[in-house]
Amino acid sequence: MKLFLGALALIVLAGCAGPDSAKALSDKDQPISVQAVTAAEVEEPMTVPILGAVTSSSRSSVGCEIDGQVTALLVREGEHVRAGQALIQLSANDAHAKYSAAEGGLKQATLSAQADEQITAAKLLSAQQDLARTQDRLNSDVKLAESRMAEMQAHYDQLKRGPRPQEIEAANSDVVAAQAVVESDKTTADYAKLVLKRKSSLLGQGGISQNEVAMAQLDYDHAVQSVAFAEQQLRAKQLYLNLLKEGTPREELAQGAAQLAAAKEAYRAANANLASIEDSKQAVLMAQADHDRAASRLKQLESGDLSDEGAKVSLAQQDLARTQIRTPIDGVVSSIKVVRGQVARAGQIVAEVIGQGGVQVEATAMEEDVSKIQRGQRVSLSLRDDPSRHMTGILRDILAPGSEGHSSRIIISIDASDGVRAGQVVTGDVVTSESHHVIKIPADALFSEMDGQADVFVADGETVRERPVQIGEKADGLVTIQSGIAAGDQMVVHPDTHLRDGSRIKVMRVSGGGQ
């Protein structure tokens, strides 16, 4: 993979002296023209170092990934096999038991998580409903208290103001009208009385019937009642007029003030009660958090490997699958290295399969680095005897470490067109998914290079300083600096043979570079 250093910027550090001053300088004092780049920190993938050898990819040493007793040899030496075909069966009793236990644990945990999710969902709904009811009730209390306070304020204002002239005038008109009604009703009653008297006299003379006299009596009684009702209305209207003329009594005014004060206190209390909504909101937040945790737990369990229980099931499945030892390639079984009843150990080679074509790299990685690598990762390789020969491979398989070792065997696929042959030793690095920051500069900035050490000239104003550095990987014209300089330091590239520590310099602008 091509590395590039986009952050290396070409710079101009100093100008030229004037013509007159240049003439005054001797050749020894003349500044040396140089080219410089700024060292910058860049991010690159972390790697895992490996050491291995080129082997024929048509040969596969098939090994155990777990300890187990051989219960069956499923093929014979000389038999043709296909990639993925089972060669040897190990005892699966323990693996089956572990798988059943792990699956049962996952099922039980899932049922428990489902119940917990339902319970927390119900509690969340209840808390949300309680919040809604509390908000409605308290807001309603505030509105009612506010309305009552406005009503009492208006009533008290009216009491303080007293009757208006138009109110007294209207009340006086009501009294006059009531008096007229009384006079009219009295006239009607007098006339009804006269009619009754005359009809009673005619009844004695036999001129009219008793029924006519009864009707006259009824009319008279009704007229008398009307007079009484009209007089009652007159007295009421007269009393109201007198009250208006006297103004609001002191007692009534005090009562109105007390009613207004009570209404204001009720409004203040209703507003104060709104703070209790926060308790209901907090209850909703807590219920939501509980439900989120329960839902997340259930999702993890249902997703499989995301939970501890699911991971146990996955590991148990893998161990169960590993009880059948399979060939990774098509070919012919050249040898079976175990017998039925034998206990095979993890990492032990139990069979050899010979296939057709290509080459591969069989390498080792330290046990502490195995967790950082995985199938499908890119591997940068070079020949140990000729480091300039580079190639790229893909990590194809990781075998379990042997019981007596602290490293794991890995298989790397490479292209046969790279021109390597079986038996050649290679070194390399597996490019992981993790990354770190390093400093890179052009390799042309190095001089006096030997055994991972070199020197560089670092621009310091109008002079340079010679500085030793420890170097790492070289690629695409760049070199990794492990120590000696820092990001921001300015390196001289293609240093002049006359350049020395403390030499005066003039940095010239250059186009290109930085890659």
Structure-block tokens of residue 68: 């187990």
Alpha-carbon distance values, 249 to 156, 158, 243, 466 (Å): 12, 12, 9, 108
Is the pLDDT confidence value at 1 over 50? Answer: no
Q: Are 407 and 366 in contact (CB under 8 A)?
A: yes
pLDDT at 183: 94
Torsion on CA atoms 75, 76, 77, 83, rounded to nearest 10: -20
First to last CA, the chain: 13
Of 362, 360, 367, 377, the residue nearest 47 (C-alpha)? 377
Rounded average pLDDT over 366-372: 80
What is the pLDDT averaged over residues 119-125? 94
Looking at the DSSP bridge assignments, the partners of residue 428 are 50, 381
Structure confidence by residue, pLDDT tens digits, 185-239: 999 999 999 998 998 888 888 778 888 888 989 999 999 999 999 999 989 888 7
Question: Would you state the structure tokens that stand for residue 433, as one six-digit string?
Answer: 């998914």
86-90 and 68-73 as β-strands: parallel, antiparallel, unpaired?
A: antiparallel
Q: Write the DSSP assignment of 173-196 as a string of letters.
A: HHHHHHHHHHHHHHHHHHHHHHHH
The helix (H) or strand (E) run that includes residue 282 is helix 277-303
Residue 31 CA to residue 10 CA, distance in Å, equals 19
Rg value, the chain, Cα? 54
The pLDDT of residue 269: 92
pLDDT greater than 70 at residue 29: no
Mean of the per-residue pLDDT values of the chain: 83
Token pair 């050649």: residue:
424
The answer, yes or no, to whether residue 514 has pLDDT greater than 50, is no
Asked if the model's pLDDT at residue 339 lies above 50, the reply is: yes
What integer pLDDT is reported at residue 402 of this predicted model?
A: 57
Give the CA-trace dihedral at 316, 317, 323, 324, to 10 degrees. -170
Mean per-residue pLDDT, 33-49: 83
pLDDT tens for 475-487 read 778 888 889 998 8
**pLDDT at residue 98 tops 80:** yes
Closest CA to 409 of 401, 420, 417: 401
Asked if residue 386 has pLDDT above 90, the reply is no
Instruction: Check residue 451 and give its pLDDT.
Output: 85
Band of pLDDT at residue 160, cut at 50, 70 and 90: confident
In SS3 terms, 433-467 reads as EEEEEEEEEEHHHCEEEECCEEEEEEEECCEEEEE
What angle is formed at CA 462 by the lines to CA 457 and CA 468, rounded to 5 degrees?
15
Written as one letter, the residue type at 470 is Q
Count Cα neighbours of 92 within 13 Å in the Cβ-side half-sphere: 16
The string over 124-140, giving b where at least 16 C-beta atoms fall within 10 Å of a residue's C-beta and e elsewhere, is beebeeebeebeeebee
Under DSSP, is residue 366 helix (H, G, I), strand (E, B) or coil?
Answer: strand
Q: Are 351 and 94 in contact (CB under 8 A)?
A: no
Residue 368 Cα distances to 44, 346, 363, 381, angstroms: 21, 17, 15, 21
Q: Is 77 helix (H, G, I), strand (E, B) or coil?
A: coil
Average pLDDT over residues 73-77: 91
Asked whether 175 and 237 are in contact (CB, 8 A), the reply is yes
In this structure, the strands spanning 505-507 and 32-38 are parallel
Out of 24-33, 71-80, 245-254, which region has the weakest mean confidence (pLDDT)? 24-33
Rounded to an integer, what distance in angstroms lies between the CA atom of residue 492 and that of residue 446? 9
Taking the CB of residue 297, how many other CB atoms lie within 10 A of it?
19
Please state, in angstroms and rounded to a whole number, the distance separating the CA atoms of residues 9 and 13. Answer: 12
Q: Which of 446, 433, 429 has its CA nearest to residue 482?
A: 446
Residues contacting residue 316 through CB under 8 Å, at least 6 positions apart: 95, 98, 99, 101, 102, 103
> Which is it for strands 359-366 and 40-56: parallel, antiparallel or unpaired?
antiparallel
* Domains by residue range for the chain, with CATH: 41-90+321-456+469-488 (2.40.50.100)
Longest dimension (CA), the chain: 172
- pLDDT tens for 279-304 read 889 999 999 999 999 999 888 888 86
Residue that is written with structure tokens 């007295």 in the block: 235
| Helix, strand, or coil (residue 46) | strand
